[in-house]
């Protein structure tokens, strides 16, 4: 499941009860009205809403909040198939876009409808983040100065995202040109779909596709096992309470067991955490440190057995992932000892945990220094060339990296 980006730099994992003074989208009355109008619009299309409503969360944008007490397993939302926005296959075929990616197909379908006179999506679109919100939140829109301060582990998912975007733009650019739509227009809808879509598999046996689901896309992300249950049934999506709720508590969904690096690239935020309460889905990638340190023979060995790359420190357990342990042991152990560890997860003779840690210490120390240098820059009074939102999320992420490294090496 993929859901909404609201241009906010971080998300608190804890679902605290909100103060009684909070109200849906506080501020201008028309801002309140657009969410009320969209709620009614959704219900008119068969969306069932029970005990939840959109609300402005101080410092964190919009979220979905309980309006009454809710019991465990109670259904709070149901989004029927008829309410979903799906790719317009007739239009796509007419424009020779049948082979475009699912994301490009849905984005083009949404843009075509949204830009039409009397758009049926206008009420829904009024609740989406603006292009400015997205440009501030998403690293693909940041300045080069801001991007230069991204952790090395963010560069790979960001490069993949940009490659996907370029392929999609190449596929649709001629159609956009024919309709008088600019690449800026297209990028907005591509980013909306990237951050708000779901995968829908029709029970009638048709090929699955990306879709948008009204109202449920208000929900913010939480790590695994901290959120409500969102399931696809034969008639649509439904959301069930994972526990008992009091009135005024935020309800969350998980967009997937994503690290904060991936959340930053695709949604423009990172989950808040602390050394005492790390995000269980997060990891601190070490490829940029470890891969250059491995000799060609070792890299070849690891590639042959599917263990080349995706190395990480896991903050939730303060341990190295298994692939990292295998990679370092490929340097330290004999072939027989290394193969035994791969097969059993245990060392053949003496425990090599301390030796693995000692091998990594100079690499991790170098990374810790990089984190410190970047934090010092970002924590200066007014970093030159940075939006405040970008600086804030970078501070959060570099702090998480630094805390994880310190916890492991101590």
Looking at residue 217, its pLDDT comes to 93
Looking at residue 393, its pLDDT comes to 94
Q: Model-level pTM? A: 0.88
> pLDDT band at residue 30, thresholds of 50, 70 and 90?
low
CA–CA separation, 346 vs 353, rounded Å?
10
- Per residue in 298-335, pLDDT (tens digit) is 999 999 999 999 999 999 999 999 999 999 999 999 99
Strands 312-314, 209-212: pairing is unpaired
| DSSP calls for 169-224 | HHHHHHHHHHHT--HHHHHHHHHHHHHHEEEE--TTSPPPEEEE-TTGGGPEE--T
Domains of the chain: 1-272 (3.90.1410.10), 284-409 (no CATH)
Question: In 305-345, which residue ranges form alpha helices assigned H by DSSP?
Answer: 322-332, 335-344
- Per residue in 40-90, pLDDT (tens digit) is 999 999 999 999 999 988 877 789 999 999 999 999 999 999 999 999 999
Looking at residue 275, its pLDDT comes to 74
Stretch 136-163: mean pLDDT: 94
Q: Residue 366 corresponds to which tokens in the numbers above? A: 């170098």
Looking at residue 12, its pLDDT comes to 36
> pLDDT band at residue 31, thresholds of 50, 70 and 90?
low
CA–CA separation, 248 vs 251, rounded Å?
9
């Amino acid at each position: 499941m993929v859901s909404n980006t609201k241009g906010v730099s971080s998300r608190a994992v804890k679902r605290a009860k909100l103060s009684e003074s909070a109200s849906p989208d506080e501020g201008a009355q028309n801002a309140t009205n657009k969410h009320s109008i969209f709620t009614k619009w959704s219900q008119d299309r068969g969306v069932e809403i029970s005990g939840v409503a959109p609300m402005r969360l101080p410092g964190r944008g919009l979220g979905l909040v309980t309006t009454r007490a809710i019991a465990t397993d109670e259904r709070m939302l149901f989004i029927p198939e008829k309410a979903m926005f799906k790719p317009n296959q007739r239009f796509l075929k007419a424009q020779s876009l049948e082979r475009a990616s699912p994301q490009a197909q849905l984005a083009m379908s949404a843009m075509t409808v949204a830009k039409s006179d009397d758009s049926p999506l206008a009420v829904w679109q009024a609740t989406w983040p603006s292009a400015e919100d997205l440009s501030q939140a998403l690293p693909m829109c940041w300045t080069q100065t801001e991007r230069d301060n991204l952790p090395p582990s963010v560069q790979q998912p960001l490069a993949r995202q940009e490659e996907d975007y370029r392929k999609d733009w190449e596929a649709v650019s001629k159609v956009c040109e024919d309709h008088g739509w600019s690449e800026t227009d297209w990028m907005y809808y591509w980013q909306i779909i990237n951050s708000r879509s779901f995968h829908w598999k029709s029970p009638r046996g048709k090929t699955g596709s990306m879709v948008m689901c009204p109202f449920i896309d208000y929900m913010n992300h939480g790590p695994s096992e901290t959120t409500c249950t969102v399931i696809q049934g034969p008639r649509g999506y439904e959301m069930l309470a994972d526990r008992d709720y009091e009135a005024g508590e935020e309800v969350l969904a998980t967009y997937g067991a994503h690290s904060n690096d991936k959340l930053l690239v695709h949604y423009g935020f990172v989950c808040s955490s602390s050394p005492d309460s790390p995000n269980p889905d997060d990891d601190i990638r070490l490829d940029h440190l470890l891969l250059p340190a491995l000799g060609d023979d070792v890299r070849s060995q690891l590639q042959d057995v599917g263990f080349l790359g995706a190395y990480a420190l896991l903050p939730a357990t303060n341990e190295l992932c298994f692939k990292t342990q295998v990679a370092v042991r490929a340097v330290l152990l004999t072939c027989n000892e290394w193969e035994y560890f791969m097969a059993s997860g245990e060392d053949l003779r003496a425990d090599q945990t301390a030796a693995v840690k000692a091998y990594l210490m100079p690499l991790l120390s170098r990374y810790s220094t990089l984190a410190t240098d970047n934090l010092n820059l970002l924590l200066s009074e007014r970093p030159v060339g940075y939006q405040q939102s970008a600086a804030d999320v970078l501070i959060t992420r570099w702090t998480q990296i630094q805390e994880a490294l310190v916890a492991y090496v101590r």
